[in-house]
Structure 1
Amino acid sequence: MQTYKISISDTKKFYESLGCDSGGISILSKKSKLHTLYIKNMHVGAANILKQDALSIGAELAVPSGVIIAQDKYVDAVLIGTTKHFETLARKELAQPFGLKELAKSLKDYVKEQNYKTKIMGVLNANEDSFFKNSRFDNSQASFLIEKMIEDGANIIDIGAVSSKPGSIAVDENIELLRIKDIVDTIYKNKYYEKVDFSIDSYSPKVIDYVLNKGFKIINDITGLQNDEVCKIASKYNAQVVIMHMQNNPQTMQKEPFYENVILEINEYFKNQIQKAQSFGIKDIVLDVGIGFGKTLEHNLLLLKNLEHFKHFGYELLIGASRKSMINEIIPTSIEDRLSGTLAIHLQSIKNGASIIRCHDVKEHYQAIKVFEAINSIN
């Protein structure tokens, strides 16, 4: 008899290859993945109940030492268990007091299976002040660059005409539309939208309405649907909407950004903006934590490391860290030399739950993602 430790990425596929009984594969899969859930400001009564219930099924709740004597009224805790444990606790806590009923309703969301295909969103900028010069274009180059991105493996092409880099100034929507109109008309005329999806990087209702009427399908809104008119237009065209988080605005966002808890605050922001989108009839939503938009290096790293948390909303997650300054803060590097750091961030983001990667370097990302997927497809 020989043994060796294995790493299983797709438990169902592994148990099928092992020849397990079909009825048991789902059960085994739910017992194979371990989850760690941080619970903040939990009533001490809830902590004591949940700890006993967790222990009774083989899970665990880590709590401060004074919980058993109710030393503090509210405590933080960490719930540790498998998918099966979380599902069992979701049923057990429904009848319990101290806020456990609300916790029970969310436990299943944290372990829900999601299988989104990874998509590459290539970036094209129709403005002269975008931070990475190689992403800029004029109309004479547009068709060539679009065809090259499609050939290189892009699933989505994101086009913008206004810079959102730190310190950038807002542009009048008429100027924005003038910058982008010809290329949008070219896309429509050549029917490029039949080969790849097009996204508009804008929060201007006038621009968004124009491009959605010309074959674009996605609104990439850095303001996260703050403008009701954008919501109305998105609903009118049944467009997919990317809700991004940004603290303050591009002019001020990097002036000492501060959060009490960046994960919880962005979680609350997404909750509110999703509700707003749904109230306008918007159904197709993508979430973007907004790397570099009102965040320090530590904030960015925490969001990337804990990206999987935001999967509980049930929507696709987008990450766009392409050549951003956080790489320079880790290791001083010019914008032109940040491809390696970009790939490292984006591959880790896919591992942590992202399914849409917004980048400048489509060909290199396509190769890296295919290799990454090949490694993770083996059980």
Structure 2
Amino acid sequence: MVVEKLSNTIDLHRELKALGVDSGGISILADKGKMHLIRIRDLHVGAANILKQDALSIGADLAVPKGTVTALTPRVDVLLIATERQLQQLAKKEKAQPFGLKQLSVELESFCHAKYENEISIMGILNANDDSFYHASRFQGNQAIERIESMINEGADIIDLGGVSSRPGSMAVSAEEELRRVRPIIDALYEQRLYEKTTFSLDSYEPEVISYALERGFTIINDITGLANDEVARLCGSYGATAVIMHMQGQPATMQENPAYSSVITDVEHFFRERIAKGSSYGIKEIILDCGIGFGKRLEDNLSLITHQSHYLRLGKKLLVGASRKSMINAISPSSSDERLAGSLAIHLKAIEQGASIVRVHDVKEHAQAIHVWKALRG
């Protein structure tokens, strides 16, 4: 007899299939192998005591503060620990319970339905301005086309072209100036039909620039304002373009001046829900969500959003994370933007592990290799 302890990060479905387990058994056992940790804030103490007993009755558990059983305080924060199957059972149980547990059952069900994307896409960054925070991402003219072709060969699934810096403290430019910067690159890739080789994204929130790109082979609009402009939403809908909705608190010029949240996870989710509804009302079929690392966020906010990326899977959209060479790495381990590749890889692999399916990066080749190795380690 040989006994081996396996990592809980392996592909359990694949492991069960390799053992020859029947399809019905695979479904049941895979659910048992998926663990949920769900924090519930400001819960009625009576609801906490009911939820605790219901959780225990099915083999799950609820961590509660001291004094909960005697209702020492009227409302409490709790932590639910349950497998996928237990979470499904608990959601059903709470539908008939008082103290707001019926509404909680709806929330729990949404986590049951959340699905991870199997395919990971790399979005390569190309800047057509001279003030982006990482100098090695800036290209003009023929060099830009060469860089695009290089990133495609290195493994980029998407190329994200931008003409305006959105780093903290940066100032906006006119739509005319932005178009002047990106037009030669857009025209060149259109003439060379590079859009047949990969997917092109435009990092912009200016309707005039967006319209120009959509007419010339671009199919994704990466909007840091999250469809704040109705005309941008209309253009995405009318052209059938995918919209990347990013969360940002404030504006680039001032966004890092004392940003604050009641709960960054839920505040960002509320924003996403509002903008998803807006995008849908304009006929946008495909939406990608980006929590906006570094856009009006403290270090603790950025870490929380990356670590708990899976929270947003219940919204049913692909998740994008872009932390490439950003200053949060410097806040953890002092370094210049030239020295942050390792930190970028660590953040992006953690985000992928938590459900992100698109990473926006400066270093395509290195990320492609890291993702291939990460997949191999997971079996």
- TM category (shorter chain) comes to over 0.9
1:107-128 per-residue CA deviation (whole Å, 9 max, x = no partner) reads 2321333234100000000111
Residues 116 and 316 of structure 1 are in contact (CA less than 8 Å); yes or no, is this contact kept in structure 2?
A: no
The answer for unaligned runs of 5 or more in structure 1 is: none
| Between 308-317 and 91-100, the greater mean CA deviation after superposition | 91-100
Alignment correspondent of 1:190: 192
1:311 and 2:313 equivalent? yes
Alignment correspondent of 2:244: 242
Residues 62 and 78 of structure 1 are in contact (CA less than 8 Å); yes or no, is this contact kept in structure 2?
A: yes
Alignment correspondent of 2:73: 72
Which amino acid letter does the alignment assign opposite residue 89 of structure 1?
Answer: L
Cα distance, 1:279 vs structure 2:
2.0
Distance (whole Å) between structure 1 residues aligned to residue 115 and residue 237 of structure 2: 28
Which amino acid letter does the alignment assign opposite residue 292 of structure 2?
Answer: G
Alignment correspondent of 2:5: 5
Distance (whole Å) between structure 2 residues aligned to residue 161 and residue 115 of structure 1: 30
Distance (whole Å) between structure 1 residues aligned to residue 209 and residue 101 of structure 2: 46
Partner of residue 170 from structure 2, selected from 165, 168, 171: 168
Give aligned pairs, total.
377
Distance (whole Å) between structure 2 residues aligned to residue 372 and residue 114 of structure 1: 16
State TM-score, norm by structure 1.
0.96
Following superposition of structure 1 onto structure 2, how do residues 68-217 of structure 1 map, counting pairs within 5 Å?
Answer: 68-111=69-112, 112-217=114-219
Which amino acid letter does the alignment assign opposite residue 2 of structure 1?
Answer: V
Cα distance, 1:139 vs structure 2:
1.4
Cα distance, 1:171 vs structure 2:
0.8
Cα distance, 1:320 vs structure 2:
0.7
Alignment correspondent of 1:42: 43
1:140-165 per-residue CA deviation (whole Å, 9 max, x = no partner) reads 21221111111110000000000001
Alignment correspondent of 2:235: 233
Residue 67 of structure 1 aligns to a residue whose secondary structure is: coil
Distance (whole Å) between structure 2 residues aligned to residue 156 and residue 315 of structure 1: 17
Cα distance, 1:17 vs structure 2:
0.8
State TM-score, norm by structure 2.
0.96
1:256-275 per-residue CA deviation (whole Å, 9 max, x = no partner) reads 21222211211221122222
1:58-85 per-residue CA deviation (whole Å, 9 max, x = no partner) reads 1111122322233322211111100001
1:301 and 2:290 equivalent? no
Distance (whole Å) between structure 2 residues aligned to residue 322 and residue 49 of structure 1: 45
Residues 139 and 182 of structure 1 are in contact (CA less than 8 Å); yes or no, is this contact kept in structure 2?
A: yes
Residues 117 and 318 of structure 2 are in contact (CA less than 8 Å); yes or no, is this contact kept in structure 1?
A: no
Cα distance, 1:302 vs structure 2:
1.5
Cα distance, 1:99 vs structure 2:
2.0
| Between 6-15 and 313-322, the greater mean CA deviation after superposition | 6-15
Which amino acid letter does the alignment assign opposite residue 342 of structure 1?
Answer: S
Distance (whole Å) between structure 1 residues aligned to residue 76 and residue 359 of structure 2: 37
| Between 123-132 and 94-103, the greater mean CA deviation after superposition | 94-103
1:60 and 2:69 equivalent? no
Which amino acid letter does the alignment assign opposite residue 243 of structure 1?
Answer: I
The answer for unaligned runs of 5 or more in structure 2 is: none
Cα distance, 1:247 vs structure 2:
0.8
Distance (whole Å) between structure 2 residues aligned to residue 18 and residue 67 of structure 1: 44
Distance (whole Å) between structure 1 residues aligned to residue 101 and residue 327 of structure 2: 42
| Between 311-320 and 270-279, the greater mean CA deviation after superposition | 270-279
1:307-336 per-residue CA deviation (whole Å, 9 max, x = no partner) reads 111212121111111111111111221111
Distance (whole Å) between structure 1 residues aligned to residue 16 and residue 333 of structure 2: 42
- Root-mean-square deviation (CA, aligned residues, Å) is 1.3
Residue 333 of structure 1 aligns to a residue whose secondary structure is: coil
Which amino acid letter does the alignment assign opposite residue 6 of structure 2?
Answer: I
Cα distance, 1:96 vs structure 2:
2.2
